[in-house]
Amino acid sequence: MRLSLLQKFILKKCYGAKKIKFDCDYFLDFYKNSGKAQPKIQKKIVRRSLENLIDKGLMVGYGLRTPKKWFVKKVKLTGQGRKQAKKVIGEQLKLNLK
């Protein structure tokens, strides 16, 4: 399964924490060191990544779903999500050599 860097970050952060349910703004730490995107756009990107993880079955979303849009307030890892998080944590990191 192909995951973006943000999605990998979300899985690692959920797997390593003591809490079970996470607020969507909890994952904005991904952009803490790099100020490339504006805060409004950062929230939008994080929410889309969470929606994609929910669609893949790696997370469960709590909130409101309309026919066109998700209004996710909290998320939680599923069993499949925990397995994928273990895989992501076990991957070897890339070296940025030129």
Q: Residue 64 is part of a domain; what is its CATH number?
A: 1.10.10.10
Answer yes or no: is 96 within a domain.
no
Answer yes or no: is 98 within a domain.
no
Asked if 47 and 86 touch (Cβ cutoff 8 Å), the reply is: no
Answer yes or no: is 33 within a domain.
yes
Q: What is the mean pLDDT of each run of 10 residues along the chain (98 residues)?
A: 88 86 84 76 88 92 85 90 89 73
pLDDT in tens, 54-72: 999 999 989 887 888 878 8
DSSP string over 42-73: HHHHHHHHHHHHHHHTSEEEEEEE-SS-EEEE
The residue range of the domain holding 67 is 5-90
3-state helix vs strand vs coil in the chain, percent to 5: 50, 15, 30
Question: Which bin fits 63, alpha (ψ -120 to 50), beta or left (φ > 0)?
Answer: left
**Into how many domains does the chain fold?**
1
